[in-house]
Structure 1
Amino acid sequence: MKIEGQAALVTGGASGLGAQSARLLAQRGAKVAVLDRNAAQAQAIAAEIGGLALSCDVTDASSVQQALAQARRQHGPARILVNCAGVGGAHRVVGKQGPMPLEDFSRIVQINLVGTFNVLRLAAADMTALDALEDGERGVVVNTTSIAAYDGQMGQTAYAASKGGIASLTLPAARDLAQFGVRVMAIAPGLFHTPLLHELPADIQASLGASVPYPKRLGQPPEFAALVAHIVENAYLNGEVIRLDGALRMPPR
């Protein structure tokens, strides 16, 4: 699918990988709606790229429906969805304070996994109703999982489970939507320069980067965004999770 002229939705678009994806899609000529719970930051990104900022809680069905309706009114129906909204969190199954609080596990899974699916199902419903493009395609969805889905470390049960769910739904979702010409892909990034990592001391960031086989550094958000753009433009990519990690395999801790 050609990016130019298409309407695009980017969840978690106010910062990190989502913001960079929004920037690149806009540079390629897409009409981008930035969806995020942080309305002020979403507005800043939208103003930068000439897009639309929409306050949105991905876990809330009505919030997503309202955001998609507003984006549709401003930009037309979206053919591109990039799901980057998500949270982290580290808790061992049993720690010094006893068993991991169930609400901590549920919160991470609800935001990362259920939130991703919530936006996917609603955006895909819009895509399936669109006229097909010349090659029969109607839309493309790019979700964000993580290498933690495969190499989850100690303390990452909730995060790994949520990202593993995103990885696992990729193929069946692609199969569900294939009849409509809507593709579903996922990217599993490794260690990237994101707001979360920026909070760590510089020496720890350097150490993490050195653990990557090659290139020995943290990933850069433009590299993630470049893969998003390639997925959108390459119609034969469907139903797959692509690791973007410099050949990193995470150790137990």
Structure 2
Amino acid sequence: MIALIRTEFIKAARRTRTAIIALLLIGLPTLIVVAINARGDRPDRGDRGDGLFRLASQSGLLVPAAVLSATSGFLLIVIAGTFAGDAVASDSSWGNLRYLLMRPVPRGRLLVAKAFVSGVLIWAATILVTLAALVAGVILFGVHSATVPGIGGVAGGFELSTGALLLRVVVATAYVAFGFSALLAIGTLFSTLTDTAASAIGATVGVYIVSEILDSISQLGVARYAFPTHYLGAWETMFTQNTYSADMVAGIVVQFAYFVVFGTAAVLWFQRKDIRS
């Protein structure tokens, strides 16, 4: 199993697409930091400077939170969907899958290895964008504690020490990465359903986009709580309200449920699939 995972990981790491994604995840946080610095802290403006982006100029340790907030809603979804949807479908489109299965490797084990590598790449992408933002932020803004004002300008603000900021950045990164567990399972399932990687990737990302659209419709009520994207931003309260929201726990439960259901479906389907390419 370890040898199989190593082979799949090396194959994925050597792809040009992986290098391009890595460069994007390093370059984008740098551009965001430059934009934050160029805007400056202007209290007379109440636009996009509010929230995490406005706080980011206080300390380089807050920059990763702002960057995660900006990227987790779309860019990281697309990247995670690419890794997940490509797991099996790429080998099918290249005509390699049939030859991979000629080896004495059970189908379930092969799928688990591919999904595991996709999961590692998703976590690596999330960690990379965080580290890039942290380095760029520390270089430009330094390492300081941060003062978060009360909501709406009222009293009741709080201060976060450098240690607290660093801990919350670690927790936020892990939460965002784990928040793509449902996407990983859904993408792996779609990857077994089609022989075209683009179709699997598009369907996976499409599910999350539809989920975000439906989640914005308040008339759906409590039904929104079951959407895989509903709790993706629950971690932000650690920085804006000085609390670890209970929604984070709910988000973990929802992601785990999706992972188990769709992951099991992917394994069952792949074991019975007629492989022709």
Question: TM-score, normalising length from structure 1?
Answer: 0.39
Higher helix share: 2
Higher strand share: 1
Q: Answer with 1 or 2: which has the greater Rg.
A: 2
Could you say which structure has the greater relative contact order, defined with CA pairs below 8 angstroms and 6 or more residues apart? 2
Question: TM-score, normalising length from structure 2?
Answer: 0.36
